[in-house]
Amino acid sequence: MLTKKQIISKKDFAKRITIYASFCLLAISLSLAIGIFGYHYFGKLSWIDSFYNASMILTGMGPVNKLVTVEAKLFSSFYALFSGIAFLTTVAIFVSPIAHRIMSLLHVKDIE
């Protein structure tokens, strides 16, 4: 016997989006913190320049300040690789409940 599938309520969906968005905000914040401290420590940049560089790398825009030491260049390289994966993964996590809801809406049929 077929059963009727139910889609979660708008209130539950809003809760789910809030949870996913909170997780994404935490992940982006931690990724940004890694970059800020790394640029400040390895690149000997000021805090604001470190924030600026980390933000630009994390969003895929590219570096701003020229780094001169080997350690700074290595950090910047690995942070850029990490950032690309972290940012795309975070976007995918945020979009997944929305995509799931759309797919559920398109496939659920009233069974009577």
Domain of 19: which CATH number?
Answer: 1.10.287
What distance in Å separates the CA atoms of residue 12 and residue 94, rounded to the nearest whole number? 16
Global pTM reads 0.80
The pLDDT profile of the chain, 112 residues, written as one tens digit per residue, is 444 567 888 899 999 999 999 999 999 999 999 999 999 999 999 999 999 999 999 988 888 999 999 999 999 999 999 999 998 999 999 999 999 888 888 875 555 4
Q: Does residue 111 sit within a domain?
A: no
Total number of domains constituting the chain:
1
Domain, as residue range, for 30: 14-106
Q: Does residue 55 sit within a domain?
A: yes
Q: Does residue 100 sit within a domain?
A: yes
